[in-house]
């Protein structure tokens, strides 16, 4: 993944060109560019002030931000749940590598959309993952249906707030 990270970092060094090529995010979701058993690439879009609950990927991940900002809280397992231990902010042009065992939550603190390129070293959609309830921090399974429901809920929240 080191060579892939270099390529992603090179692309993110001209994040304006990536934004021009992909277009600006218009709703929360994932635009899949490639998916196979070897790797998955998609553009992830977060609505303004969107919060993603703690989750894992169960594979190595690279994230490069091309518009907006992504604040990450890193979590680690402990008896009976998880605990936060580190935070970082990703700005336009930043690239971060997450190890296979990473657990993180994501916040878009801005009043604008955030977009990032996500690259995983496996089939993101066929891998059993986990998420944690944001209040109780109790672990539960994560699958495509729960992710789609989360994005639908965020889009509803954002677009209904635009109507008022």
Domain of 34: which CATH number? 2.60.120.10
Specify if 153 maps to a domain: no
Q: Is residue 152 part of a domain?
A: no
**157 is a domain residue:** no
Average pLDDT over residues 113-125: 96
pLDDT at 1: 85
164 has pLDDT over 80: no
- Cα torsion 82, 87, 92, 97 to 10°: value is -60
User: So what's the pLDDT on residue 79?
Assistant: 86
Average pLDDT over residues 85-106: 97
31 assigned to some structural domain: yes
Query: DSSP states of 37-79 as a string?
Result: SS-EEEEEEE-TT-EEEEEE-SS-EEEEEEESEEEEEEEEEET
Residue 36 falls inside a structural domain: yes
Residue 159 has pLDDT above 80, yes or no: yes
- Res 147: pLDDT: 85
Structure tokens at 69: 């900002």
What is the model's pLDDT at position 104? 97
Q: Does some domain include residue 112?
A: yes
Average pLDDT, the chain: 94
Give the relative orientation of helices 15-22 and 2-12 as an angle to the nearest 10 degrees: 80
In the chain, how many domains are there?
A: 1
Question: For 60-84, how does the pLDDT look when each residue is reduced to its tens digit (9 = 90+)?
Answer: 999 999 999 999 999 999 988 899 9
pLDDT for the residue 82: 96
Question: Does the pLDDT of residue 163 top 80, yes or no?
Answer: no
Mean pLDDT of the region 79-108: 96
pLDDT over 80 (residue 102): yes
| Residue-range definition of the domain harbouring residue 52 | 2-147
158 is a domain residue: no
Q: Is residue 27 part of a domain?
A: yes
């Amino acid at each position: 993944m080191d060579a892939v990270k270099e390529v992603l970092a090179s692309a993110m060094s001209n994040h304006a060109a990536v934004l021009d090529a992909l277009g600006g995010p218009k709703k929360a979701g994932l635009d899949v560019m490639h998916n196979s058993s070897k790797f998955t690439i998609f553009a992830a879009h977060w609505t303004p002030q969107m919060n993603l609950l703690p989750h894992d990927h169960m594979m190595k991940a690279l994230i490069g931000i091309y518009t907006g900002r992504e604040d990450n809280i890193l979590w680690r397992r402990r008896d009976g749940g998880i605990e936060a231990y580190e935070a970082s902010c990703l700005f336009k042009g930043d690239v971060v590598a997450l190890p296979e065992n990473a657990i993180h939550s994501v916040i878009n603190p801005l009043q604008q959309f955030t977009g990032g390129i996500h690259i995983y070293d496996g089939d993101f959609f066929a891998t059993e993952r986990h998420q944690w309830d944001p209040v109780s921090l109790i672990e539960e399974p994560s699958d495509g249906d729960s992710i789609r429901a989360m994005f639908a809920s965020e889009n509803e929240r954002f677009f209904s707030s635009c109507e008022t």
